[in-house]
Amino acid sequence: MASTWRQLLPQFLAMLLLYFVFVAVLGAVGVEGFVPRIVVALVVAFGYPAVLRRMGRAPPAWERQ
């Protein structure tokens, strides 16, 4: 269990950081609202793991069996 958390915690923190960066960029260009933030959250939540898997950099806990 602890090994899984050690693998996943950096990935979740990176996803959280990406989300806040994208939301800050949206705010800087003047895009406000709930829907754009949800879209960013979904893109990060589904896109980040997919990109890491495709690059071969996904943690073993994300590997499909």
Q: What's the confidence (pLDDT) of residue 46?
A: 96
Going from the C-alpha of 59 to that of each of 4, 13, 18, the distances in angstroms are 9, 14, 18
- Model confidence, pTM: 0.84
* Residue 13, pLDDT above cutoff 90: yes
Look at the chain and count its residues: 65
Query: Is a pLDDT exceeding 70 seen at residue 1?
Result: no
Determine if residue 30 is left, alpha or beta; phi over 0 gives left, psi from -120 to 50 gives alpha, anything else beta: left
